[in-house]
Chain A
């Protein structure tokens, strides 16, 4: 499965090599498309490619690192 997500970093974790760690810890291919750092916030558009359960586990791990993960569509649940 290929999953396109936005990662949002905060001031505490913005300097950590989290995407490198992700690639070391899970059998997934990471592919960065855009990245931006400003005003105490980091934003990365990332594609995760791997088996469904591995991708889902990788996302849970990212969240445990205090990285906010959401689909590239951002909020899909509309009123």
Chain B
């Protein structure tokens, strides 16, 4: 194991540095903290050959992750397929298209398994025995599952009226689920108070700087799987906006370490129209992210006041990308398009990514003859209610060949 190259936690606003500890807010200006590294310590030691010699999981890039020893949680997570999407490319009228498919990420079928693995491994290093999160879906399931596998106690906070199916996805792992009465703002505030008082590892609060770093592995894998090359264009779904900033960071790190050439990658953000504070700010070219009340079927992206919105906007602007949003009908249509062309059933957030990519290609913002990667971050089995009315119902016939012959003939099937 190469020694950790983490230097400190650094405020993204005022630049103040802090020792590595479970904290996330600058004591001076209340800005968010980020993990920073001494990359020069890796010079010449972190090579393609070394990475390729390691097992195919997200920890093959562990020197660039903020843990000190071996991972203790989610040791086999990550390294999902990068699919060359020929049929979807034809449908969208582009030449070179790839799907980074985290709808099959282990163990809970979403990219949250990456961030949670890093967060919980770090929590164990810090000495925590209880981990927690506030979530309406993927994050809850991932924290519950990974905590169970690591023998950690876990608490998951949810709004009291969350659908039963989503509660089950976390409950099966034996986590303690707390439903909170009140508005979304009330839930947020209570979780902030609990995180401050109980001394637990709240993955997206006091462990957030470490948690967010796990997203970089999604970017590293794209570049390695493309043959040690960054794509020209990446389309990323945005909730808090964190994934956008971390994919950008992963590309810059690989360039800095000499693992890839700079390919001037442009990063594009995708949101649902019913919750599009970041794409609105990009389109209006303003730094201010105006909070919105989410109203969309893409629940996993429904963050009305995104903590990383400002930084995501900056990444899109600086890389020459853009942001767009799609409405609920477009989301469902895009989910079907991806399923019917590539056999990949993604959740509504993936429909947002595909739908926005389609829009950006039609607008001419993404050129048709350059490499494009679409980030698919979750599995469609988790959001079945969103498409139940959009899928053709089975045609019922009697159990005789005559009836089937009639049906086949109506379909134009030749015997």
Contacts and interface: CB of A to CB of B under 8 A. Distances in A.
Interface of A: 1-5, 8, 33-34, 38-39, 41, 45, 47, 52, 59, 68-79
B171 interface: no
Most buried by B among A5, A75, A77: A77
B323 interface: no
B208 interface: yes
Interface stretch (B73-81, B180-188, B386-394): B180-188
Given A1-B193, A71-B192, A79 B29 contact: no
A79 B142 CA distance: 11
A5 B136 CA distance: 22
Contact of A76 (B13, B134, B301): B134
Interface in B9-32: 13, 24-25, 28-30
Given A73-B208, A76-B188, A79-B137, 20 more contacts: A3-B193, A8-B291, A34-B29, A41-B288, A45-B30, A59-B189, A70-B188, A72-B30, A73-B307, A74-B240, A75-B305, A75-B307, A76-B204, A77-B134, A77-B135, A77-B158, A77-B191, A78-B136, A78-B303, A79-B139
Contacts of B189: 5, 59, 69-71
B306 interface: yes
Contacts of B197: 1
The DSSP consensus for interface residues of chain B is mixed
B305 A74 contact: yes
A4 B195 CA distance: 12
B305 A72 contact: no
B367 interface: no
Interface string B185-216: 10111011101110000101100100000000
Given A69-B185, A70-B185, A76 B205 contact: yes
B144 interface: no
B159 interface: yes
Contacts of B100: none
Contacts of A5: 189
Given A1-B193, A41-B288, A73-B205, A79 B30 contact: no
A77 B306 CA distance: 11
A3 B158 CA distance: 21
A59 B195 CA distance: 18
